[in-house]
Structure 1
Amino acid sequence: MELQDVDRVRCATFLLTKDARLWWESAFVSVNLQTLSWNGFKEVFYSKYFTEKVRSKLTRECMTLRQGDSSVEDFVKNFERGFHFVPVIANDTKEKLRHFLDGLRPILRRDVRVVGPTTYAVVVSRALAAEQDQKDIENERQGKRPYQKPQQQ
């Protein structure tokens, strides 16, 4: 959404819940909403909920993130959550692609690279498809057939 800073702050604070809502209600009295910029709000919010130590830890974790035994879907969630604090990579499409590919399990990485992906969206889509293909192959090896809905006539 194309919003002015003041409107961004209002939208963000409207969405706060539980402890964050209580925190904002007490912080609200000490700030001027008419002059509070989006970056100013993020600075105040991050100092409360994402201290420099926490952001540094998230950055380190993100830089070394690997899929391991998690699903592609979970890996994508963790990848996107972590890179919020690493704008050097998040804002560079080639670096984002490289880091995502490097974090995938080798067998999935190989399957994704074969198609020569050029965008992050294509890489994620191919990784999800490759994971499903891998599950289908494993089911076939074990003599299981994937469930198919009966066709309606």
Structure 2
Amino acid sequence: MIAEGWIKSTEVIFTFMELQDADRVSCATFLLTGDARLWWESASVAVNLKTLTWEGFKEVFYSKYFNEEVCSRFTREFMTLRQRDRRVAEFMRKFEHGCHFVPLIANDVREKLRYFLDGLRPILCRDVRVASPTTYVVVVSRALAAEKDQKHIENDMHGKRPYQAPQQHHSHQ
């Protein structure tokens, strides 16, 4: 996950700096540190640095950090992901992370909505489906609101005590 985060944040910098493809590779390799730097020193021997594109660099990089076994494991985890006792925000974070490994779902609006809804706790899923949301952003927003409402209901139920008649004070005269 650190490797994926590094690629994503590096790409944000590249976009901001408006770097061309060749400059992206040079900059990225310059930014590598520690074990990644040692890995690149070995891996760079097998590629033509003069023609290496940013996409080519990412393929080499991902082959190290996201080999077939790792991608397969993440895909299986994603396909069975359920909210269970997680908060919606945590479930959403895991869901979005998993989407990277299953582009057929991530790139299909209806499938993404369906998988997210199917992963929610049943009571939240019901509350979200009632509104017939059509975008992922709306589904997440409604799930967060439904979770908040559910918490209020639970607090209200636990906070109420059975009705007790007020005690009458008898004065002795």
- Equivalent residues in 2 for 1:3-152 (5 A)? 4-6=20-22, 8-9=24-25, 18-24=34-40, 26-28=42-44, 31-143=47-159
- From the CA coordinates, give the structure whose radius of gyration is larger: 2
TM-score, normalised via structure 2 length: 0.71
The alignment partner of 2:83 has SS state of coil
Question: Gaps spanning 5+ residues in structure 2: where?
Answer: 1-14, 161-173
Shift of 1:140: 1.2
**Equivalent pairs: percent with the same residue?**
74
CA RMSD in angstroms, aligned pairs only: 2.4
- In 2, the alpha carbon distance for the partners of 1:135 and 1:32 equals 57
The alignment covers a number of residue pairs equal to 144
Q: Cα gap change, 1:79/1:142 in structure 2, threshold over 3 Å: closer, same or farther?
A: same
- In 2, the alpha carbon distance for the partners of 1:12 and 1:96 equals 32
Shift of 1:17: 5.4
Please list every run of at least 4 consecutive aligned residues from structure 1 whose deviation after the TM superposition is greater than 6 angstroms. none
Map Cα deviations across residues 76-110 of structure 1 (whole Å, 9 max, x no partner): 11101111011111111111011100110100000
- In 2, the alpha carbon distance for the partners of 1:15 and 1:137 equals 50
TM-score, normalised via structure 1 length: 0.80
Moved more, 19-28 or 35-44: 19-28
- In 2, the alpha carbon distance for the partners of 1:140 and 1:26 equals 61
The alignment partner of 1:85 has SS state of coil
The alignment partner of 1:142 has SS state of helix
- In 1, the alpha carbon distance for the partners of 2:20 and 2:41 equals 22
Q: Cα gap change, 1:82/1:28 in structure 2, threshold over 3 Å: closer, same or farther?
A: same
The alignment partner of 2:81 has SS state of coil
